[in-house]
Structure 1
């Protein structure tokens, strides 16, 4: 198992896939004190938290290199993070008092933030500090879920993180495949405005504003998030054998769709219940984007592109199908089975990746055999 600790994304992406496959099955065989609360918290804190760590720790060496530094997280630190993640899962599932449960759940987000922020500060890469501290947003999710049962906050926090991070990396991957040499293309004003409106919807909800206000704000954010794509270099995704880019775009489209569905439900403009609408942002956006990004670590490298294998394509299609079925069907059984089947295939690919050489860069295709990689 020594190969598991060669790179932090190997154990964390594997844990994310395993947890994504298992969490929905709590509905089939409930064991937690509160199955609904456990389902909500583990989809975000467990599944998305592990995937967030895998991505950010993979991006860290690139950040440090840009700042004139070097290095990455040590295997010992990775082991600590995995143990902290496991402690959080045990604390969240056990029938513990709120204080003890929250303390256990805080170990992983705080540890991950420290593993990112300390080297960022040491090398002076201050522009990366906000994203290095992003794992602390999981603490807000943990408190709201544990103390208030507030699933909407959890979903909106994760949607905002996808908008902030995905809104940079997706066009960056597209630009790199298009041959752009910009290391960090500036975020267009439309993108900043879209993220600001999305953040405003979260702030209104946290401030106790009427649901209709949050809903109308989300309905405003939805087209803003869609229109920002007009500034993206979409042509590379339409070329033959560029499936890795198509996965990212397909996942991203759930952001404006999900914001619109949740906004309409909150504003009373849709017959779709709010809990069902939220699955567009959890299963569709969060699940799709996480799988599209983490799959890049195990895709076969070819000059200037990443090859999407059949297993990965089937896994992604099952996750997307699960999200669509969850919106269309009242019975959640079939969507949950499709979701778990898709992530079971992702477990298979994650396990295979442990036995292969770690690619460099982990999440990017080089522009050419001797070219440089796009920003992480």
Structure 2
């Protein structure tokens, strides 16, 4: 029996290796199609939203335009990049070969089908669109869970968050259909992504910072790995979001968000990002994470009754934390997993500047510091420019083999 299990394992390994060898480079790792597709969809979806906002087009979706914009930014754009990250991280966690070739093409095709189904849901039907869209996250969860369980890896909770994200996606479709409170779904989605950023960012940011500082000859006061303090702050942040979703605005949610913001700021300070200005690839991770305590603090201010629109706080977490961290992780992972030097090109640095400028403009636009419509349009242009630059700089890399000859 043991020999039979070993034989099946060897056959599976051989099959995966053969798929990778036969696959075009674009399908030799989950980060390749999903980073490219997510970035392209970010540009397309935001362009459609700005045109709809201006009254230039009418979107053929069963969602109202604002709900479609929220859905596609969270479950389309963010969902694609999270999928690409997960499919790339799982082989590192488990030591198994990545999903590649036809299975990866099928999974990516399901994500593309979900985007088209939601966009044209008024024609094909909301139920059909929801089934295709949610189906992507369910299949992604099943694929990742199989890999993690078979290797007895400790990262099953991360896979669980993806499963919850798929359930929230289904709830968002229910909100669009008027079956449940629409606010609950997108709030849950924001909460899950920020918790994921807190978990994964808390691992990679201090690790990459420590490695870079060590290369500069520093040996003392280096950032450490996550400690009980970090887990406590992540738990408090999750509890604050739970109160935000289930309780009315007031002193309770405001206090929880304020304490969570202070804790997240303390975590970030412990990672010593101010020492990394010479390396944009590391610095941008700290800049992206800085939006987390900023967003939480703004949510606290809103709940305490400050004259700040809720959209300001929400966009600090979405256009700020999510988009910046996504761009930071995509650029670094693409370079590292294609065997290239970890160095930010001028195009990469320009993309970092644009995504930061776009977030700043989007967060401040509702505050009346400049014309609202102009602020939204300029913020959107800067934000799209960042991901267009990513496509220009990294599209060719994502479609070419590793430069070191490895699969």
Which of the five TM-score ranges fits, normalised by the shorter chain? 0.7 to 0.9
Secondary structure of the corresponding residue to residue 99 of structure 2: coil
CA distance in 2, matches of 1:359, 1:196: 41
1:253 aligns to 2:290 (yes or no): yes
- Alpha-carbon spacing, 1:217–1:300, altered in 2? closer, same or farther (3 Å): closer
Report the alpha carbon displacement of residue 305 of structure 1 after superposing the two structures with TM: 6.6
Q: Of residues 101, 111, 116 in structure 2, which corresponds to 1:85?
A: 111
Q: Of residues 41, 55, 74 in structure 1, which corresponds to 2:71?
A: 41
Residue-by-residue CA offset, 1:230-263 (whole Å, 9 max, x unaligned): 433547624x3x2210011111100100111122
**Superposed counterparts of 1:264-343, under 5 Å:** 264-268=301-305, 270-299=306-335, 306-329=342-365, 330-331=372-373, 332-343=376-387
Report the alpha carbon displacement of residue 11 of structure 1 after superposing the two structures with TM: 0.6
Count residues with an aligned counterpart. 348
CA distance in 2, matches of 1:172, 1:199: 23
Aligned residue in 1 for 2:134: 106
Contiguous gaps of at least 5 residues in structure 1:
363-376
1:14 aligns to 2:36 (yes or no): yes
CA distance in 1, matches of 2:171, 2:138: 17
Structure in which a larger fraction of residues adopt helix: 2
Structure having the higher Rg: 2
CA distance in 2, matches of 1:309, 1:76: 32
What is the TM-score when the length of structure 1 is the normalising length? 0.85
CA distance in 1, matches of 2:231, 2:74: 24
Report the alpha carbon displacement of residue 178 of structure 1 after superposing the two structures with TM: 3.8
The answer to whether the Cα contact below 8 Å between 1:266 and 1:274 also exists between their aligned partners in 2 is no
- Of stretches 99-108 and 196-205 in structure 1, the one that deviates more from structure 2 is 99-108
Structure with larger RCO (C-alpha < 8 A, sep 6+):
1
- Alpha-carbon spacing, 1:225–1:103, altered in 2? closer, same or farther (3 Å): same
Q: Of residues 190, 210, 214 in structure 1, which corresponds to 2:248?
A: 210
1:135 aligns to 2:162 (yes or no): yes
Q: Of residues 149, 172, 192 in structure 1, which corresponds to 2:182?
A: 149
Runs of 4+ in 1 over 4 A off after TM superposition: 233-236
- Alpha-carbon spacing, 1:325–1:108, altered in 2? closer, same or farther (3 Å): same
Aligned residue in 2 for 1:369: none
Aligned residue in 2 for 1:50: 80
1:28 aligns to 2:50 (yes or no): yes
Aligned residue in 2 for 1:176: 211
1:349 aligns to 2:371 (yes or no): no
Secondary structure of the corresponding residue to residue 51 of structure 2: coil
- Alpha-carbon spacing, 1:48–1:160, altered in 2? closer, same or farther (3 Å): same
The answer to whether the Cα contact below 8 Å between 2:249 and 2:303 also exists between their aligned partners in 1 is yes
